[in-house]
Amino acid sequence: MARRQPGQPRRVGDSPAFKWSLIVFVVVTSLIVIVSPLVVIATEALGRGLPAYFAAIAEPDMVSAVTLTVVVALIAVPINTLFGIAAAWAVTKFDFPGRRLLIIVIDIPFSVSPIVAGVSYLFVYGLQGLFGPTLQSADIKILFALPGIVMASMFVTAPFVARELIPLMQAQGRDLEEAATSLGASGFRTFMSVTLPNVRWAMLYGIILCNARVMGEFGAVSVVSGNIRGETNTLPLHVELLYHDYQTAASFAAASILAFLAVLTLIAKVWLERQGAGRAGRPSLSGPPVPAPVMEKA
């Protein structure tokens, strides 16, 4: 903290006691809430030795859970990426009736509990739901199968890419795209040559966060999957199943995979921030300040 000059008013935090109390509080809370669970996961997963750990990971139901989790991510993340790009483009590049409503709709998954979302899918696609009888007569299975898991995962992660792109694209404005269009560039050429290079880091940042949430989603998926061992259990659901079966070591081995994915996500997040993602709208140290994006309020 910079030294206070004579005559300057006293600022919050100038007191050394307050500063160190705040630092100690943050560090202790981080150790208790964040670090200690990760240490416990690593300790319990490896408590019986590496052979037992790898045997638990190689167990068929575990392999099935990991495979299903990866497949869901490979489907949900690209779709949500396309949705995020389209939504950000529509919101920032066009003026149309219902624009504010669209922004509100994009934010709905942030405010709705994932379990509530899963239950709502039951009332829409379940046997007693809105489309249930029609789907059953057509022999189309949504719930308790891969499509339901993908849809639930897409719901909870829909805003991630869009919410990374919208502020940045609002700050950049429409001048570059309009200039490219006036020179004869098509919409696709304008997007690939002008828009995408300017938002690529923010887009990758959103993709990484979206992927991490898809792989770790529990609430919505637990409702629509049916928890069928070896078939519809994703990795987070398999962790709970093993724990309830008193297979503690195997449960922590599965949890360690999720923890490892979380660490990889954190490393990728830090790397992308160093490359420029997440810094849009902040003042430049070597040039004039960049105006911060102004988000429309509902």
Greatest extent of the chain over all pairs of C-alpha atoms, in Å: 81
The alpha carbons of the chain give a radius of gyration, in whole angstroms, of 24
Closest residue by Cα to residue 237 from 249, 228, 246: 228
What are 202-244's pLDDT values in tens digits? Answer: 898 899 889 999 999 998 999 998 888 888 899 999 999 998 8
Contact 191, 198 (CB under 8 A): no
d(Cα 291, Cα 108) in Å, to the nearest integer?
Answer: 27
**Torsional sign, CA 40, 43, 48, 51:** positive
Domains in the chain with CATH codes: 39-275 (1.10.3720.10)
- Kindly indicate the confidence band of residue 286, based on its pLDDT and cuts at 50, 70 and 90: very low
- Residue 155: the pLDDT is 94
Nearest alpha-carbon partner for 65 in 233, 217, 220 = 233
The dihedral of CA 145, 147, 152, 157: what is its sign? Answer: positive
CA triplet 298, 118, 268: central angle to 5 degrees? 70
What does the pLDDT look like over 19-46, one tens digit per residue?
888 999 999 999 999 889 889 988 988 8
Report which of 174, 177, 173 is spatially closest to residue 193, judged by C-alpha positions: 177
Sign, Cα dihedral of 261, 266, 267, 268: positive
Among 119, 203, 131, smallest CA distance to 155 is for 119
**Least confident residue range of 69-73, 134-138, 211-215:** 134-138
Choose among 167, 173, 185, 196: nearest CA to 88.
167
CB-based contact 203:161 (threshold 8 Å): yes
pLDDT at 31: 93
pLDDT tens sequence across 86-107? 999 888 888 888 888 988 999 9
- Comparing C-alpha atoms, which of 50, 62, 39 is closest to residue 245? 62
Tell me what pLDDT residue 12 has. Answer: 62
Contact 76, 214 (CB under 8 A): yes
Residue 294 backbone class (left: φ over 0; alpha: ψ -120 to 50; beta: rest) = beta
Any residues with CB less than 8 A from the CB of 21 and at least 6 apart, and which?
none
- The whole-model pTM stands at 0.80
pLDDT of residue 47: 86
